[in-house]
Amino acid sequence: MRIRNKPWADDFIKEHDHIVEPSPYAQKGSWRQLFQKEQPIHLEIGTGKGQFIAKMARNHPDINFIGIERVKSVIVGAIKKVKEEDVVNVRLLNVNAENLCELFADDEIDRIYLNFSDPWPKKRHAKRRLTYHTFLKQYQQILKPEGEIVLKTDNQQFFEFSLVSFSQFGMVLDEVTLDLHQLKDPENVMTEYEEKFSEKGNPIYRCKAHVPA
């Protein structure tokens, strides 16, 4: 993704501290109480410009959504989307998702979405992939028992890597779809990348997995 530097991003983020949580590490263990309604929490890692999380929040008022995006110039787009949808069940975190166990207590999260995660195709960068086993270990810890991971990508190599990684970790694969859009799933909410790649004719892969209790 070509990211244009936005010198105003810092101020914009600070002005929206009801959307971007200013002290995320202090909320560990009490995320549920931070929202207007105490209800299940779905976490998206690598939220990008926020189309998915904002629309999901609009479609599912009975769920609280947390989106993690480490790039300031990108998260500002997500803030705008959340404002456009006028939803109160979203918080965005401008942090790196490397230390999730410092952000969330055990079992605090009900579902994790990984949407078009950076594939890091070079072997020497495999540890950076969000489905590398070190990340899966953290997901297992913060997810409630039987909590689900839902992954979408257009990148075949990353998809295959993730399926193997999930299986080797002992996760159960609940769904593996090689052409999501052919399913015409009415619940599917497209991300920015999903729109871009499907317009090019790329098939979209999706898998759902959970760690057995």
Helix (H) or strand (E) holding 114: strand 109-115
Tokens of 93: 């975190």
Residue 149 interacts with ligand SAM (CB under 6 A): yes or no: no
Q: Verify binding: residue 131, ligand SAM, rule CB under 6 A.
A: no
C-alpha to C-alpha distance for 22 and 10, rounded to whole angstroms: 12
Q: How many CB atoms lie within 10 A of CB 168?
A: 10
Site track 161-200 with ligand SAM (rule: CB under 6 A), x = hit: ------------------------------xxxx------
110 belongs to the catalytic site: no
Q: Is 71 in the site for ligand SAM (CB under 6 A)?
A: yes
Site string for ligand SAM, 105-124 (x = CB under 6 A): ----------xxxx------
Torsion of CA 34, 17, 190, 101, to 10 degrees: -50
What the block records as the tokens of 198 is: 């499907």
Residues of each annotated binding site: 44, 69, 96, 118, 122, 154, 191-194
**Chain residues in the site for ligand SAM (CB under 6 A):** 1, 46-48, 68-71, 74, 96-98, 115-118, 191-194
